[in-house]
Amino acid sequence: MRKILTFPRNGSAAVSAVVRSSRLALIGASLAVTFCLASAARAQTLAQQLAPTTMSLQDGPVTNAFAQSVTGGGSDSQQRTSAAGALTAGVDNAAYSVLSDTSSVQQASYRRLGRGVEYVPAANNPCNPGCDVSYYFNYEALFLRRENDERFSLSRNSFMPDFDYEFGGRYTIGNLLDCVNGWEVVYAGPFDWQRQATVTGTGTLQSQLQPLNGYTAAQISAFNSADVHSQAWRTQLQSYEFNRRWWVWDVISTMIGMRYVDYEEDYLFFSSGAAGTGLYSERLDNQLVGGQLGFDMLYPVSLRANVGVRGKAGVYANFSDRRTNLNNAGTAILNAGDSDVDVAGLFELGIFTNYHIVPSVRVTAGYEFWYLPGIATVPEQRPSLVSPASGTTVFDRDDLFLHGGSLGVQVLY
């Protein structure tokens, strides 16, 4: 009988394992139920606390039982009893379930409600602050210099000095539809570069003009063995832009737009001597119309200061026009012209910095480079070659290079 009532050692171990497993399962189930009920009660309680119709700590009486227990009123035991009652009510009445939740979250947007209607964030929500800038105005004083063609001259006895840095303005007016999208118009100019030179010598001055294809020295006699040579070369530029612009994180801006550029050159060569008076003139007009892309990138270096780089690149149709005249001792030798349409470009690259004097006013400074391929210039027309065909073809394959500094101010509104 003793042997029958005695369990084997292996059987006792198995029963102990089953008991331990059952105990752990019961403990886990109990914790899960407790956690679910506590979560439901907490959610219900918070909803009751935050509901404006049931609780107002400043403007009205407290009607939520749990809120009353927190904010005061009654003894400690009463407060604990009220809190327990509130939690019990929350557990009993909790109908919330994640699986049955049909609520949605609207994505934050800074877009206006409509033209002329400002978006006003509800209750000063810090997660949706809106946009506090609607317009911006930039003014920059540009000092650009035209490079190349330093040695161009139709007189063998003198050269004109180089083009200098010339002043022009850049005006920008922009409208932000929101903090991301906007439009702007930009005008740059007018830039006016001039160079001139005069040399005198009694019958000793010679020109660079060379007669060809039937023309002889008689057609240019007033320009050689002269007493006075005077030259003047003037170039002008102005630019108009209309751009669509986007901003990202207040440090990157991209744009696409249309641009019109007007670039003109006028050259005059005057000679006087025993053979009479000679006058040679070239007038060139380049009108560029096309599209462009651009970007601005900023790097904050302090709470008020930024440094950055900007660039633009565009492809244009160049409507070029040429007018040539040559008068020798009162006789018209050349009176010709030509027009053409070809491809041109404009590329800008600059570095700049700005500093916030106040949040709505910045001062700016920078240096930039402009490169314009496909331009008609005076030296490219080969004016030294005088023939019956001179002036009948416009050559628009020259390159124009400008560079210079800028100082400006930006106002945000």
CATH number of the domain where residue 330 is located: 2.40.128
**Mind giving me the DSSP string for 150-197?**
TT--SBTT--PPPP-EEEEEEEEEEEESSSSEEEEEEEEEEEEEEEEE
Quick check: is 282 in a domain?
yes
Residue 95: other Cβ atoms inside 10 A: 7
Strand 361-375 versus strand 398-412 pairing type: antiparallel
Quick check: is 169 in a domain?
yes
Structure-token pair, residue 5 = 């009532």
Are 79 and 151 within one domain?
no
Quick check: is 113 in a domain?
no
Are 310 and 375 within one domain?
yes
Which pLDDT score, from 0 to 100, does residue 119 have? 45
CB-based contacts of 202, cutoff 8 Å, min separation 6: 227
Are 187 and 40 within one domain?
no
Upper half-sphere CA count for residue 284 (Cβ side, 13 Å): 30
| Per-block mean pLDDT, blocks of 10 residues, the chain (413 long) | 40 47 51 44 42 41 42 49 46 55 45 44 51 90 94 94 95 92 97 96 96 95 97 98 92 96 98 97 98 97 95 98 97 97 98 95 97 97 96 96 98 93
Are 170 and 262 within one domain?
yes
Tens digit of pLDDT for each residue in 241-253? Answer: 999 999 988 789 9
Which pLDDT score, from 0 to 100, does residue 335 have? 97
Tens digit of pLDDT for each residue in 187-245? Answer: 999 999 999 999 999 999 999 999 999 999 999 999 999 999 999 999 999 999 999 99
Are 321 and 383 within one domain?
yes
Last residue of a domain, one of 62, 93, 124: 93
Are 61 and 155 within one domain?
no
Are 225 and 309 within one domain?
yes
Residue 208 DSSP SS3:
coil
Are 79 and 220 within one domain?
no
Are 304 and 228 within one domain?
yes
Residue 132: other Cβ atoms inside 10 A: 12
Contact assessment for residue 347 and residue 370, using Cβ atoms and an 8 Å cutoff: yes
Computed on alpha carbons and rounded to an integer, the radius of gyration of the chain in Å comes to 42
Q: In the chain, how many domains are there?
A: 2
Quick check: is 366 in a domain?
yes
Contact assessment for residue 79 and residue 64, using Cβ atoms and an 8 Å cutoff: no
**Residue 226 is part of which domain span?**
132-412
Residue 302 DSSP SS3:
coil
Quick check: is 124 in a domain?
no
Tell me the C-alpha distance between 148 and 399, whole Å: 9
To the nearest whole percent, how much of the chain has pLDDT over 70?
69
Residue with tokens 């999208």: 181
Are 161 and 88 within one domain?
no
Quick check: is 279 in a domain?
yes
Last residue of a domain, one of 63, 93, 123: 93
pTM: 0.70
